[in-house]
């Protein structure tokens, strides 16, 4: 898959990549040597924190490789025990810092067109509007309909569109969270703590806060059946 930055009609795309999630998942599976290994909810939440923090895909992939190389260097069976992306956190952080330093004062990569058409963007916006409607989120669905009607305009500035979609998604999540029974939220947090406990020492306080939020947000999406609004989920 290409690692070209996702940019639309000359608008910078902040170093993110269209296939960010798939690239990270497949690279981790290859590094681990187990193509059928499934990432956990914690892993998916961690990938999303990296994407939202605008960690370049290149840095994440290099960090995964570095973490496995360090494990192999110990000459133990530890490599087989690398069963979560949480083991790669420090390596990814180091690679992101190194990449930022290398690119400072350098030239930006050539801009590339968005890997989808206006029609595909319009279809995505209509789909998420339809899947949002009927979940007591009709006002948000109407806003998504309005974006779909002006897909050609928004295609010229995908960065701004993504910001609008993020704002709508956050509003939808806040409403869903308020409508979720306290006991259900407690069970979700308990499950999160069970998954996170072995890796807590690998994260800073800020990283933990971001990861916990992403984990619970992903749980809300799954529980409600709400689609992801971001064009990173365009299909």
| pLDDT score for 78 | 46
| pLDDT score for 72 | 80
| pLDDT score for 234 | 80
**Contact 143/168 with Cβ under 8 angstroms?**
yes
Question: 19 or 196: whose pLDDT is higher?
Answer: 196
Residue 18 predicted with pLDDT over 80:
no
Give mean pLDDT, residues 174-191.
95
Residue 100 predicted with pLDDT over 90:
no
Q: pLDDT band for position 11 (50/70/90)?
A: very low
| pLDDT score for 103 | 63
Q: Of 12-16, 17-21, 82-86, 92-96, which has the strongest mean pLDDT?
A: 92-96
**Contact 49/207 with Cβ under 8 angstroms?**
yes
Question: 57 or 16: whose pLDDT is higher?
Answer: 57
| pLDDT score for 39 | 85
| pLDDT score for 104 | 58
**Contact 158/11 with Cβ under 8 angstroms?**
yes
**Contact 7/112 with Cβ under 8 angstroms?**
yes
SS3 8: strand
Of 27-41, 54-68, 184-198, which range is least confident? 27-41
| pLDDT score for 106 | 52
Residue 4 has which token pair? Answer: 């070209």
Instruction: Dump pLDDT digits (tens) for 101-160.
Output: 776 555 444 445 677 889 999 999 999 999 999 889 999 999 999 999 999 999 988 889
Mark out the alpha helices in 114-204 (DSSP H runs). 118-132, 138-149, 151-155, 158-179, 182-196
| pLDDT score for 8 | 39
Instruction: Dump pLDDT digits (tens) for 41-99.
Output: 889 899 989 988 888 889 999 999 999 988 887 765 544 567 889 999 999 999 999 88
Domain locations in the chain as residue ranges: 20-103, 118-233
């Amino acid at each position: 898959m290409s690692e070209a930055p996702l940019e639309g009609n000359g608008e910078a795309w902040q170093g993110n990549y269209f296939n960010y999630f798939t690239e990270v998942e497949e690279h981790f599976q290859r590094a681990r040597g187990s193509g059928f290994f499934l990432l956990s909810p914690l892993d998916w939440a961690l990938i999303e924190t990296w994407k939202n923090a605008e960690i370049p895909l290149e840095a994440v992939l290099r960090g995964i490789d570095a973490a496995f190389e360090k494990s192999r260097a110990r000459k133990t069976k530890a490599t087989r025990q690398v069963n979560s992306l949480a083991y790669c956190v420090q390596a990814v952080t180091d690679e992101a810092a190194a990449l930022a330093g290398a690119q400072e004062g350098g030239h930006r990569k050539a801009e590339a067109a968005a890997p989808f058409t206006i029609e595909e963007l319009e279809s995505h916006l209509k789909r998420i509007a339809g899947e949002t409607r009927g979940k007591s989120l009709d006002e948000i669905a109407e806003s998504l309909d309005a974006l779909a009607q002006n897909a050609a305009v928004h295609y010229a500035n995908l960065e701004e569109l993504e910001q609008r979609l993020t704002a709508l998604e956050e509003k939808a999540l806040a409403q869903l969270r308020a409508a979720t029974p306290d006991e259900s939220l407690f069970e979700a947090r308990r499950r999160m703590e069970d998954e996170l406990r072995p890796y807590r020492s690998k994260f800073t306080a800020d990283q933990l806060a971001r990861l916990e939020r992403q984990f619970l947000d992903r749980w809300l999406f799954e529980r409600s059946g709400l689609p992801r609004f971001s064009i990173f989920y365009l299909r």
